[in-house]
Chains A and B, each alone.
Chain A
Amino acid sequence: MTDSNTAVTGNPVIDVEKIRKDFPILSQTVRGKPLIYLDNGATTHKPLRVIERVSKFDSEEYGTVRRGAYKLCEHSTQLYEDARKKIADFLGAEKPGEIVFTSGTTQAINLVAHSFGKRFINKDDEIIISNIEHHANTVPWQILCEERGAKLKVIPVNDDGELVMEEYEKLLSNKTRMVAVNHVSNALGTVNPVKEITQKAHAAGAKVLIDGAQSTPHMKLDVRDIDCDFYTFSGHKMYAPSGIGGVYGKMDLWEEMPPYVTGGDMIMQVTLEKTTYAKPPARFEAGTPPITQVIGLGEAIDYLNEIGMDNIAAYENSLLEYGTALLNDIEGVRIIGNAREKASLISFHVDAAHPHDVVTMLDQDGISCRGGHHCAQPTMIRYGVPATTRASMAFYNKTEELDALAESIKKCIRLFSE
């Protein structure tokens, strides 16, 4: 292990070679080259213990949850609720019941937009998002505004990719009902000042949803300290299986909100004339949930806790600094998004080649990067590019991989500039 692969504290808190052995997929080759996986912002890989836990659960323990009075069901239900407690603790929630499981952040935001919207958004009300949101935190609010005759306002960003807080304050008024912003931008890596955003929104009487899809894998969280009203997450971006995620919400809000998806499990009582709803979180979890995936999520959280989110954040920050310096040194490469606070994600533009050609060239060297608009077209428009190439790092990445990335980009530039 080199010095640069230890966290900035100088202590080898992350032994990256040891960590890499936990992830079976990382040892493969792609197009004859060792896999260098730098698309963690899209999805992350799973440690062996998550894979094995899921396999053991399906082989030996699987049963439905919440509806049977027999051993397998009781055991599954216990594990399912244990996992809810794990994610609640991970996010800093007060009670496990404040966590509603969904398929991921997209469904989580749709749930809140629909359900909160139905209860609290009326004509001429205002909802605030930012110019650097994922489409998942843009489209549901646009549709809600159209349906309810409300207005959507947008916090602008400066050239470095930071929200312009003075402009945000001007947008807030007694008409504002909801402020929905991400904690970390998936397109630029910007870490937004969510605590300050929340304080200001609350002072104006508005509620706050934080899209945590990109923050939950990278930093220690405390939703009670942030004081936001909703906080979303996606399991597959935090080393858990795909198809599971959820949203933290304050219990008093959950209790006032009507169901989104309806059917089995979300009811108190059904007659042919009328249905009364179950209490949260069951009210928002109609149908048989992705049980196995929830168990996998719980195991992934145990794994992250054992490594320590502060260690992960420190190590990934050292990767960010290393990679940023490398890419800044390449002539013809421009980093898009230079916020003072960033997660380990670098979005960049290569003058000589289109992002899709860049990623194909990188792929030829075994490097997986994303090229595209990152489901954030308004962000691309703001920075005047059709798309960017994005390298998003995890704590299983190492500086040698970033060296390889830089070399591959240089090769691409040479080929396309000949």
Chain B
Amino acid sequence: MSYDNELYQQVILDHNRKPRNFHEMKDASHSCHGVNPLCGDDITIYLDVDENEGVIKDVSFQGSGCAISKASTSLMTTFLKGKKIDLARKTKDEFHKMILGELDPEKEEHGLGKLTLFMGIREYPSRTKCASLAWHTLIGALDKKQEGISTE
């Protein structure tokens, strides 16, 4: 049986079941641990960054959590490979605005691509942290935050 769900779209469910780039990266140049203390989502993001070029060459993650947090992290990793760091930071801001309902991807310009799948989150304010944890943790990794990231 298949039907459309406003929030749990097939791509999101697929990334939840089969997360991409879901492994530890032994020789990562950057990494960061992020948690949602209230709901227990727990991820670690690994990056292989070319500092000279300012490019994210590779990205992976590990962890556990709800479907939204897992799919959001998985889709983020597929988006980031080969992207410039500046673009990654800009995308984080756009993604965050979109899930808070401050950016309407159907009306405004953006570079979110497939990430607009998470637009439905704006109807579920209690779930925004599930979707944004990946991106906060990414920034934590880029900024080399040793203490990790907590959404609380």
Contacts and interface: CB of A to CB of B under 8 A. Distances in A.
A418 B13 CA distance: 9
A354 B1 CA distance: 21
B63 to A, nearest CB: 12
B65 A372 contact: no
Size bracket, chain A contacts: 10 to 19
Contacts of B52: none
Given A356-B130, A414-B1, A361 B40 contact: no
A361 to B, nearest CB: 7
Interface string B1-33: 111011110000100100000000000000000
Contact of A357 (B2, B38, B64, B67): B67
Contact of B2 (A354, A355, A364, A418): A418
Contact of B40 (A357, A373, A414, A418): A373
A385 to B, nearest CB: 10
A361 B66 contact: no
Size bracket, chain B contacts: 20 to 34
Given A356-B39, A415-B13, 14 more contacts: A354-B65, A354-B66, A354-B67, A356-B66, A356-B127, A357-B66, A357-B67, A357-B68, A372-B38, A387-B40, A414-B1, A416-B67, A418-B2, A418-B13
A416 B130 CA distance: 17
Interface in B54-92: 64-68
Nearest to A373: B40
A287 interface: no
Interface in A360-386: 360-361, 363-364, 372-373, 386
A136 interface: no
A353 interface: yes
A351 to B, nearest CB: 13
Nearest to B64: A386
10 contacts: A353-B67, A356-B39, A356-B66, A357-B68, A363-B124, A372-B39, A414-B1, A415-B8, A416-B13, A418-B1
A373 B2 CA distance: 31
B47 to A, nearest CB: 26
Per DSSP, chain A at the interface is: helix
A268 to B, nearest CB: 43
A353 B70 CA distance: 12
A415 B40 contact: no
B70 to A, nearest CB: 9
B5 A415 contact: yes
Interface of A: 353-357, 360-361, 363-364, 372-373, 386-387, 414-416, 418
A364 B127 contact: no
B149 to A, nearest CB: 19
A360 B13 contact: no
Nearest to B39: A356
**5 nearest interchain CB pairs?**
A354-B66, A356-B66, A386-B40, A357-B67, A357-B66
A167 B151 CA distance: 39
A233 B65 CA distance: 34
Contacts of A386: 40, 64
A373 B38 CA distance: 9
Interface in B114-130: 124, 127, 130
Contacts of A372: 38-39
A363 B16 CA distance: 20
Contact of B5 (A353, A354, A364, A387): A364
A360 B66 CA distance: 11
A386 B64 CA distance: 10
A361 B39 contact: no
A247 to B, nearest CB: 28
B8 to A, nearest CB: 6
Which of A357, A415, A418 has the most chain B CB atoms closer than 10 A to its own CB?
A: A357
A361 B66 CA distance: 12
Contacts of B127: 356, 360
A259 B68 CA distance: 48
A360 B124 contact: yes
